[in-house]
Amino acid sequence: MTFIAAKHTTTAAPDLSPKYSVIQTTKVYELLADYGFREDKYRQSRERNREREAFSKHVSILQRDQDCDQHGGFNLLLVNSHNGTSSLHLEAGYFRVLCENQLGHGDLGIKVRHTGDVLAKLERAIPQVLAQMEDFKQLQAMLQGRTLSNEQAIALIEKALELRGLPSTTHNRGTFSYTRRNEGERNAWMQYNVIQENMVRGGMQVHAEDKDGLCVFRKLRALSSADRLLNANRELTATVRELCRAA
């Protein structure tokens, strides 16, 4: 059966109320194009019922040239659906790899419910998201000029472990500080990247508690839910900001 790209869908799932307002994702692309953004990456949820695939939740990353750097740079993450599973959500951040390594802004982004004129509501809110992007650029500059102390790095790792529901053991703290790639100077921005990437991508053996409360080893799964990714990254961003401001 042919893959159906939900971003082109113009109707809602048939079981939704007539009051549900559909906003075609490609129409959002057109609106963001006025600010210089273009679609860079796209992914949507698979459905067992292939006829419902056209309405499923989908995630896009949008990029503009002026925000690019050697790693991709600052961009926008857009979440939408046509089946009632999510509002239209636009988030500013530093999203390298779709659904694998997402550095989200420390604030809330914007969410627009599927009621009324969704596109008009989004248009009014876009300047707020772009202001968040500029604020996040300032956070990056601040972190690049600092280095986390051992105590600060441990505090950030412990927050990441908490967000993944893992105990703060010596093994887990060491695992979450493991660098997957050589990115040069170990400033606070790179330390933050390392911890965030390990929190999001998983793939390593960690200590966890079984149903009896005993400590066991298991392989940490990647965070694949867009909502969980955004929430986890938002909290980790807020934590590193607080740590640096308190220093």
Q: Is 135 exposed, middle or buried (0-12, 13-18, 19+ CB in 10 A)?
A: middle
Mean pLDDT, the chain, rounded, equals: 86
Residue 184 has pLDDT above 60, yes or no: no
**CA dist., res. 79 & res. 43, Å (int):** 10
Structure tokens at 241: 């900001």
Q: What is the pLDDT of residues 126-140, one digit of tens each?
A: 999 999 899 888 888
**CA dist., res. 9 & res. 67, Å (int):** 29
Between strands 88-97 and 101-104, the pairing is antiparallel
Q: What is the pLDDT of residues 147-171, one digit of tens each?
A: 999 999 999 999 999 999 999 999 9
pLDDT at position 48 is 74
Within 8 A by CB and 6+ apart from 197, the residues are 101, 180
- From the list 27, 117, 42, the residue with the least C-alpha distance to 77 is 42
Higher pLDDT, 213 or 216: 216
Mean pLDDT of 3-15: 88
Residue 204 has pLDDT above 50, yes or no: yes
Residue 108 has pLDDT above 80, yes or no: no
Higher pLDDT, 246 or 29: 29
pLDDT band at 181 (very low <50, low <70, confident <90, very high): low
pLDDT band at 185 (very low <50, low <70, confident <90, very high): low
pLDDT at position 99 is 47
pLDDT at position 52 is 83
Which backbone phi and psi does 104 adopt, to 5 degrees? -90, 160
The letter for the amino acid at 187 is N
**CA dist., res. 51 & res. 47, Å (int):** 8
The CA-based dihedral angle spanning residues 42, 45, 49, 53, taken in that order and rounded to the nearest 10 degrees: -30
All structural domains of the chain with their residue ranges: 6-143, 146-246
Helix (H) or strand (E) holding 90: strand 88-97
